[in-house]
Amino acid sequence: MQEFINISESVVSEEALVRYSNKHEEALVERAKEDPHAFGELFDKYYDPILNYIVHRTANTALSEELTSNTFFSALNNIHTFHWRNIPFSAWLYKIASNEINGFFRKNKNGFISSIEESHEFIEDELTLADMEIKREEKEIAKNNLFQELHRALVKIKPKYQEVIVLKYFEKKSISEISEITGKAEGTIKSLLHRGLSQLKELIGTSFYGEVTNE
């Protein structure tokens, strides 16, 4: 009995923590509408997740750097329109990032090249620190064979499937979180995941599985 009470208290305490965290973030977002430093706090918290989400979608470090910039500029520009409705600020940022990515894919249906497919030809002498950073991370991505394989297949399926698969398996988001980000019902998300995985499976084939299990 004593153990049960402890567990219950622990659960309640965790919920309270989440509520507190949400309240804190809500207040921060409100302040960020007028105060750059508050926006800076949000930026510090979400820059890495958003950047990595975009990298996982595009597999292109230079492009990701740019789309991440666009995402945060867009967020800054529109933060006054954000109203807290029990949907986290992060979901809103992911949504903007998704729009940036999808917009980019729409504009570059034939011309998009990921870092995996073609490494940028940097001119060493002219590299800025920013360039060097992009290049360094590009090399890191290139070393990740499994990611490369998955991404090659991912880019061949529709963006709506890419989006949910990446959010679910790369960003480790729950169905309800994906639902908040995409604005789609949870049932729809499950359906998209199911169809997306089926298509992905066909594209990847057996050789991939063999390679992965051998690693």
Partner 1 sequence: MNKNDLEKILTEFEPPNIKFEHNKNKLRRALLNSDLYGKQSWLRNLSPREISIASAFSIFIFVLISYYIFNQNNSNLDNILSKTKENYAGFLTSNKTNYFDSDLKIYGTENEEFDLKVEKWVNLKENKYCIVLKDNYSNEILDKIIIRDKKIYRMKNPKLQALNTVNSHQMIIFEIADELLNSTEFNADSISVSIDSKMKDKINMFSKTGLLVYNSGLSPFNETYINRPEINSMKISNRLNLDEYLMDNPLDLLKELASKSKITVSENYFDELLGKKVFIVQIEESILDTLEQGLTLKIDDSLSRFDSLLTNELKESHRRYVYYSMNLSDTLVSIDSTKASVPKSVKKILIDPETGSIEGVDYIYQNIRKNIKLSSSRFTNHLLVTKEDSKFDPIIDDLEYFGNTNKIKNTFIKKFSKDLHENMTK
Cα-only R_g, the chain: 20
Distance between CA atoms of residues 18 and 23, nearest Å: 8
The answer to the question of residue 145 lying near partner 1 (CB under 8 A) is: no
For residue 70, the minimal CB distance to partner 1 (Å) is: 6
User: Pattern of binders to partner 1 over 179-208, x per CB under 8 A?
Assistant: ------------------xx-xx--xxx-x
SS3 per-residue string spanning 64-81? HHHHHHHHHHHHHHHHHH
Question: Which listed range, 6-14, 18-26, 90-98, 142-150, lies at the site for partner 1 (CB under 8 A)?
Answer: 142-150
Burial class, 102, CB count within 10 angstroms (exposed 0-12 / middle 13-18 / buried 19+): middle
Q: Counting contacts by CB under 8 A, is residue 82 touching partner 1?
A: no
Determine which residue in the list 28, 62, 87, 175 makes contact with partner 1, applying CB under 8 A: 62
- Give phi and psi for 128, each to the nearest 5: -90, 170
The one among 9, 14, 15, 140 contacting partner 1 by CB under 8 A: 140
The site that binds partner 1 (CB under 8 A) totals a number of residues, namely 65
Q: Quick one: which of 10, 169, 185, 187 contacts partner 1 (CB under 8 A)?
A: 169
CB 146 within 8 A of CB 215: yes
Query: Which residue matches tokens 């105060």?
Result: 35
Only segment of 2-10, 20-28, 74-82, 88-96 that touches partner 1 (CB under 8 A): 74-82
Best CA proximity match to 101, nearest among 46, 55, 48: 55
The upper half-sphere exposure of residue 44, i.e. CA atoms within 13 Å in the direction of its Cβ, equals: 9
First vs last C-alpha separation in the chain: 47
Residue from 93, 147, 161, 178 touching partner 1 (CB under 8 A): that is 147
| Interacting residues toward partner 1 by CB under 8 A | 34, 36-37, 39-40, 43-44, 47-48, 51-52, 55-56, 60-66, 68-70, 72-73, 76-77, 80, 108, 111-113, 120-123, 125-126, 128-131, 133-134, 137, 140-141, 144, 146-147, 150, 165, 168-170, 197-198, 200-201, 204-206, 208-209, 212
